[in-house]
Structure 1
Amino acid sequence: MMRNDDNPITLDLFADEPPTTSGQIERIGQQAFVLRGFALPWLERLLPALETVLQAAPFRQMVTPGGFTMSVALSSCGALGWTTDRSGYRYTAHDPQTGRPWPDMPALFRELAQAAARAAHFEHFEPDACLINRYVPGARMSLHQDKNERSLSAPIVSMSLGLPAMFQFGGFERSDKTLRVPLFHGDIVVWGGVDRLRYHGVLPLKDGRHPRFGAQRINMTFRTAG
């Protein structure tokens, strides 16, 4: 079992999965793809590693520079972790809550992210940061660009676990029309190149229960931040 201070995450590694579209690759942009069910074969090895990371760096809800508490709880692993507070958004080598370095990124995480990047035609992806987000029903992520990374030449690799979510993939202005893409347990979205700075977000998570994760969604995004 993985747990944080508020809500346990009970993981049944042998629950049945009905990934009817597993193995399909959907293009949502010129260099943006959804890899349906790509993570499913990795889960029995990946979830214990995720549990270990979250024991070292539990989820917490951070405050934006504008003073708003995020509805999504966050953690990180790797050489750099993403944080936000009233002073701004940034990557840090140490967890500001504990003062300790972020947990190492498990080798399996890196291998999965690199395999997904290759499937989306991005070779030589070297992630040094994994942001781990926890959504409960009602939690959302507003439209934003991932632009805190030092180099924008590497893609973003984003994996969904647990409850389904509606991903918004927009243009290069916040006001641009967005494509709504349903994401399910085990799906991975990869975007980079000409699509790297597109606005994206997640609509409020709907009520439900997933057989492995209960009433929540875990999102892991891999980046080359430093």
Structure 2
Amino acid sequence: MTQPLFQTQPPAPLPKNLLGPGTAVLAGFALAVEDELLPALQRVTEQSPFRNMVTPSGFRMSVAMSNCGELGWVTDRTGYRYDHFDPETNRPWPEMPAVFKELATGAANEAGFPGFNPDACLINRYEPGSKLSLHQDKDERDYTQPIVSVSLGLSATFLFGGLKRTDPIQRIQVIHGDVLVWGGPARLRYHGIAPLRDGTHVQLGPVRYNLTFRKAG
């Protein structure tokens, strides 16, 4: 059996404006706070463990999910929505750690979206083979607020399309510590993650975590 490879030689940083107007690629932006970020992530997911949610059509998602903040994104047979309570624990979602919020607001400001105040952080855990199909983030109330996406662990291929599902797709490699921001004219662009390749990250093992910050309420 082939042994997974440690990712010790990351690719060169991506240009900030690679994805077009209303977007920013902030290479390595989260690395400055990773010593606080990773333990905080562990604490959150101990309170609200990862789970593979089911879509309204009955499809079991390959990506495992959790949330923190005032609101959490959930999907089940009744639809997609934000909720104040974790349906697995029947308790409020864990409070968003200060380091999470500071990272999200700092990235948004760097991308040209000052004043971002996220109330929801969707946490995705990808294992080799898992993916996220092209979709739009449309369950939030205020589309003037950006999306901030933080990559941790294994590298992944981020798919970024247009405002229609049939628009051409850009593919970029995101690595541990990279942060992507999109808003304004890019706020409703389709996006996703290609199937995750086998590998082992030196700190986090054979997984990728993604923190996606939104202003949902």
Question: Shared fold by TM > 0.5?
Answer: yes
CA-CA distance at 1:26 after TM superposition: 3.7
Amino acid at match of 1:218: Y
Structure 1 length-normalised TM: 0.90
Give the alignment partner of residue 193 of structure 2, picking from 191, 202, 208. Answer: 202
Amino acid at match of 1:145: Q
Amino acid at match of 1:214: G
Percent of aligned positions that are identical: 57
1:39 alignment partner, SS class = helix
Question: Deviating runs (4+, > 3 A) in structure 1?
Answer: 16-24
Which residue pairs with 1:70 in the alignment? 61
Structure 2 length-normalised TM: 0.94
Aligned: 1:134 with 2:130: no
Q: Distance in 2 between matches of 1:79 and 1:25?
A: 30
Aligned length: 212
CA-CA distance at 1:167 after TM superposition: 0.5
Give the alignment partner of residue 102 of structure 1, picking from 68, 93, 101. Answer: 93
Which residue pairs with 1:92 in the alignment? 83
Amino acid at match of 1:120: A
1:21–1:36 Cα contact (<8 Å) kept: no
Q: Distance in 2 between matches of 1:137 and 1:18?
A: 19
1:55 alignment partner, SS class = helix
Alignment RMSD: 1.6
CA-CA distance at 1:107 after TM superposition: 1.1
2:14–2:25 Cα contact (<8 Å) kept: no
Q: Distance in 2 between matches of 1:135 and 1:206?
A: 10
Task: Note closer, same or farther for the CA distance 1:164–1:22 as it changes in structure 2 (3 Å cut).
Answer: same
2:91 alignment partner, SS class = coil
Unaligned runs of 5+ in 2: 1-6
CA-CA distance at 1:17 after TM superposition: 6.7
Which residue pairs with 2:74 in the alignment? 83
Which residue pairs with 1:40 in the alignment? 31
1:33 alignment partner, SS class = strand
Give the alignment partner of residue 144 of structure 2, picking from 120, 144, 153. Answer: 153
Task: Note closer, same or farther for the CA distance 1:72–1:132 as it changes in structure 2 (3 Å cut).
Answer: same
CA-CA distance at 1:22 after TM superposition: 5.4
1:159 alignment partner, SS class = strand
2:90 alignment partner, SS class = coil
2:18 alignment partner, SS class = strand
CA-CA distance at 1:27 after TM superposition: 3.1
Deviations 1:127-166 (A, max 9, x none): 0000000000000000000010011110000000010100
Q: Distance in 2 between matches of 1:45 and 1:66?
A: 38
Amino acid at match of 1:130: C
Q: Distance in 2 between matches of 1:59 and 1:65?
A: 19
Deviations 1:4-39 (A, max 9, x none): xxxxxxxxxxxx975664596243120111100000
Q: Distance in 2 between matches of 1:172 and 1:23?
A: 23
Task: Note closer, same or farther for the CA distance 1:134–1:26 as it changes in structure 2 (3 Å cut).
Answer: same
1:28 alignment partner, SS class = coil
